[in-house]
Structure 1
Amino acid sequence: MCSPGADPRSAGAWLPLVLLCGCVQLCRTDASSKLLPEIIYPLKPLPRPALGANFSVSCEAKSAFRDMTIMYWLANLSFVEKLYPNGAVQEGAVRKEPTGTGVVMQRELRFKAFSNKDLNTHFMCVVKNPAGVATTTLQWQPETAAGTEGPVQDSLHS
């Protein structure tokens, strides 16, 4: 492969190794993408609650890892209890339902009295397992002249 006196760092010497590594990475990424957690709810915009309303938002996700998956809510990228030390917004307990080789998980975010502070807060449901992370973000829009709007929502898998 290398001719006498050729620099072993030349492209010709390393090309087969680079191609092999690329194939291994591609194959690994394709297989692991099937193991990523997936948020299944909320996927649709939810109606904006009235100020002062007591309500909850539920996050549901699927994971291939029954015992190695965590789920939690963030508020402006902080833990909910840190941003709301008074308990005005709290996370419910994680509920798990085994399905086949995986699990479906659910966790509520409970609002004691929806407030203007909540309107200006980005809430994010995070699901992590050994294959990666899935998130969905909710933020309610202020009222418009035509009425109320649902939350802005984005779902990411990385």
Structure 2
Amino acid sequence: MFLLHLVIVGASAFTLQPEEHTAAARKCQSRGKYFKKYLRVEEEPVVLRCPQAPLASPDFSMRWHRNVSGRMVPREESRMQIQNEALWILPALQTDSGTYVCTVSNASYCNEVSVELKVFEKTEASLPFISYPQVLMASPSGLIVCPELSAFIQDKTDVTIHWYKDSALLDHDNRKFRALEGTTHLLIQNVSVADSGYYCCGMEFSHNGTQYNITRTIKVQVKQKEEEPIPVIVSPHQTILTSLGSRLTIPCKVFLGVSRTSGSIVWWMANDTVVEKAYPDGRVTEGPFKGYSENNENYIEVPLIFDPVVREDLNTDFKCSVRSSVSLQTLRTTVKEASAFSWEIALAPLSLIFLVLGGICMHRRCKHRAGKAYGLTKIKTGHEDF
């Protein structure tokens, strides 16, 4: 009887009754669904990692259960197991699709996060759902990687990955494609748009004497590398008129053409010194970088801001520069006081009026003298002299 009592007590210590589980669940705080969904194919091993695994320690316990049944996943079962705080399904079936809840708790703490698993049938119709998108640029070479295999790789120095493109095996003697030994990478030579498509990578995995095949599908998209535009500075003008004591903004406007992307850098200098060092007090500063479009043409702009303009700025050499991977251009500008030109501008039209009036008077006087001297006969016309 004493031994039977010990067996019953020990069994109850490792068994969570439905009522106890419900009570514990009421106290447990839900963190919602994990952002990552596991999309796998049937008849292959699946490993679901608990997002709260870093919390697990000797002071915490971790358990898994399906959200539908609420039944706990035991540490060891024929097809579902918990290893290193992760849930292993060996192999996965379409009926395993659903929500799995990982719970981390101790005497005073309980948190749970749900993880979504969707198991698809191995058909071409499933490719858009189970494929991993990877992007390459048209270039002399590029790499793609066989993803999410770390749980099945025990010895990183002994990794053998088989690669396929459109169901055709890419052998090791292929000059175009080469699987890099000891890695999960595939090297592609002379990458072009024609290399776009579905790639499949696979490896063999042995667990408890059972051999499994693990595959991943990758959707590769190759993009043409856009040529870097040659930037052209279209402003500022060579001379900027302003008034002392006023606030002034001089934009450095750079034309990029029809290209929407550019690695160009625009900056200002004052007497061959960057603006920040030339004006540590912040009276003259560079404004924020801005990109925009006008009439389907693209520009970038960095303004130079004076707050305010002082007399020493009239003798300063300001320079806007733009650098790209293919060129460097510089444009200089100077600040002039507008009042220095105001009298000349105002007198210019007045001088013209005086010249015209003087010309008319001289014309009349010369004409009058010519009439008296030579006694020319006046021809009467229908127009009066002016």
Q: TM-score range by the shorter chain?
A: 0.5 to 0.7
The amino acid that maps onto 1:53 is S
Change (3 A) 1:114 1:130: same
Q: Is the 8 A contact 1:36 1:134 kept in 2?
A: no
| Helix, strand or coil at the partner of 1:118 | helix
Q: Is the 8 A contact 1:66 1:98 kept in 2?
A: no
Q: Which has the higher contact order (CA 8 A, sep 6+)?
A: 1
Superposed, 1:103-114 pairs within 5 Å as 103-114=298-309
Kindly name which structure, 1 or 2, has the bigger radius of gyration based on alpha carbons.
Answer: 2
Distance in 2, matches of 1:148 and 1:62, equals: 36
Distance in 2, matches of 1:40 and 1:120, equals: 23
* 1:111 Cα deviation from its structure 2 partner: 0.4
The amino acid that maps onto 1:55 is L
Given the alignment of the two structures, is residue 62 of structure 1 paired with residue 255 of structure 2, yes or no? Answer: yes
* 1:143 Cα deviation from its structure 2 partner: 7.1
| Helix, strand or coil at the partner of 1:93 | coil
Q: Could you report, residue by residue, the CA deviation over 1:56-112 in whole angstroms, capped at 9, with x for unpaired residues?
A: 11110023582310001111111001000000100001101268xx84101111000
Indicate which of 260, 279, 285 corresponds to 1:84.
279
Change (3 A) 1:148 1:117: farther
Given the alignment of the two structures, is residue 39 of structure 1 paired with residue 233 of structure 2, yes or no? Answer: yes
TM-score normalised by length of structure 1: 0.61
TM-score normalised by length of structure 2: 0.27
Q: CA RMSD in A?
A: 3.1
* 1:55 Cα deviation from its structure 2 partner: 1.5
| Helix, strand or coil at the partner of 1:113 | coil
Corresponding residue for 2:334?
139
Q: Which moved more, 1:117-126 or 1:36-45?
A: 36-45
Distance in 1, matches of 2:341 and 2:239, equals: 17
Structure 1: 5+ residue runs without aligned partners?
1-33, 150-158
Identity in percent: 27
Given the alignment of the two structures, is residue 50 of structure 1 paired with residue 252 of structure 2, yes or no? Answer: no
Structure 2: 5+ residue runs without aligned partners?
1-227, 345-386
Distance in 1, matches of 2:327 and 2:255, equals: 12
Superposed, 1:109-128 pairs within 5 Å as 109-128=304-323
The amino acid that maps onto 1:61 is V
